[in-house]
Amino acid sequence: MAKHGIGRENLNTYSNNLEIWRKTQICSYKQPMSIKVIAFDADDTLWVNEPYFQEIEKKFCVLLEDYLPQHTSARELLKTEIDNLALYGYGIKGFMLSMIETAMSVSQHTISLDVIEKIIGYGKDLLARPIELLDGVDEVLQQLKGRYRLVVATKGDLLDQERKLKNSGIEHFFHHIEIMSDKKESDYQKLIRHLDVQPEEFLMIGNSLKSDILPVLNLGGHGFHIPYHTTWAHEHIDHTIEHENFKQVEHIKQVLIHLV
Ligand SMILES: [Mg+2]
């Protein structure tokens, strides 16, 4: 997804869980010789995303300091965002609307137009940010190109994700771009069918266990998890994964060990 967040009160739990995953990782992972398609998540897998959202959230919470302490505004915003997900989907525009809605509710509809204007400006700044590829991405894609069909599978605003891909300089590596409204099993099933492969020929690489890995494993596909240093609270899961098609790596370059 393209998304982001706040209310990162669970971050300690999250990093503890990562330790557990590292320790309990099973060794029975088999070389995925059957893989034909590798799909990459985009936000916080190919390029930086979540830290930009967090920056804006911080500014937003400072704006509302007259009404609520910052951490309370953060929690209110997260709640509004999650409530709105089914309506707006993932992405910056929905985030802007959720900030405006939160500002209105915490101020009991007394928020000034000046503040609303600032919120819209924050969102526009976010839309205009240059793309910052994560370390090793270009090298990994170069090595994998020609060996596999490479795909991007991302959530988020359609226009925004298209813009990011265009400006990323890596679009040419990909055979197919899928901008998904959600990343549930049924969404992956559609994608896998569209790509005309079997689930066991499909590998998903991403930073969210919940969105990028679990649904794909459930379908019989493969999942490589690359944890990012920060993850939106909505993407957290609090249990460990043990699956023969699952692999966790610390850095995107390490996927090459298993795939080349
Ligand atoms: Mg991601």
User: For residue 185, how far is its CA from the centre of ligand 1 (angstroms)?
Assistant: 16
Is there a contact between 255 and 205 (Cβ–Cβ < 8 Å)?
yes
Q: What are phi and psi of 226, to 5 degrees?
A: -120, 100
User: For residue 43, how far is its CA from the centre of ligand 1 (angstroms)?
Assistant: 4
Quickly state the pLDDT bin for 184 (edges 50, 70, 90).
Answer: very high
User: For residue 113, how far is its CA from the centre of ligand 1 (angstroms)?
Assistant: 33
Residue 70 has pLDDT above 60, yes or no: yes
What is the structure's pLDDT at 15? 46
- In angstroms, the CA 157 to CA 200 distance is 29
User: For residue 149, how far is its CA from the centre of ligand 1 (angstroms)?
Assistant: 20
User: For residue 111, how far is its CA from the centre of ligand 1 (angstroms)?
Assistant: 33
For residue 218, how many other CB atoms are within 10 A of its CB? 15
pLDDT digits (tens, 9 = 90+) for 11-33: 344 444 544 444 444 444 545 46
What is the structure's pLDDT at 3? 47
User: For residue 78, how far is its CA from the centre of ligand 1 (angstroms)?
Assistant: 17
pLDDT digits (tens, 9 = 90+) for 206-218: 999 999 999 999 9
User: For residue 178, how far is its CA from the centre of ligand 1 (angstroms)?
Assistant: 14
- In angstroms, the CA 47 to CA 64 distance is 30
User: For residue 105, how far is its CA from the centre of ligand 1 (angstroms)?
Assistant: 29
Mean pLDDT of 178-183: 94
User: For residue 207, how far is its CA from the centre of ligand 1 (angstroms)?
Assistant: 5
Residue 93 has pLDDT above 70, yes or no: yes
pTM of the model: 0.84
- In angstroms, the CA 142 to CA 168 distance is 14
Quickly state the pLDDT bin for 72 (edges 50, 70, 90).
Answer: very high
pLDDT digits (tens, 9 = 90+) for 226-254: 999 887 777 777 777 889 999 999 999 99
User: For residue 94, how far is its CA from the centre of ligand 1 (angstroms)?
Assistant: 17
Is there a contact between 37 and 46 (Cβ–Cβ < 8 Å)?
no
Is there a contact between 151 and 37 (Cβ–Cβ < 8 Å)?
yes
- In angstroms, the CA 233 to CA 182 distance is 16
- In angstroms, the CA 89 to CA 180 distance is 10
User: For residue 196, how far is its CA from the centre of ligand 1 (angstroms)?
Assistant: 24
Structural domains in the chain plus CATH codes: 8-48+133-259 (3.40.50.1000), 51-127 (1.10.150.240)
Helix (H) or strand (E) holding 155, with range, is strand 149-155
Residue 120 has pLDDT above 50, yes or no: yes
For 149, the 3-state DSSP assignment is: strand
Average pLDDT of the chain to the nearest whole number: 89
User: For residue 1, how far is its CA from the centre of ligand 1 (angstroms)?
Assistant: 5
What is the structure's pLDDT at 31? 53
User: For residue 49, how far is its CA from the centre of ligand 1 (angstroms)?
Assistant: 8
- In angstroms, the CA 127 to CA 123 distance is 6
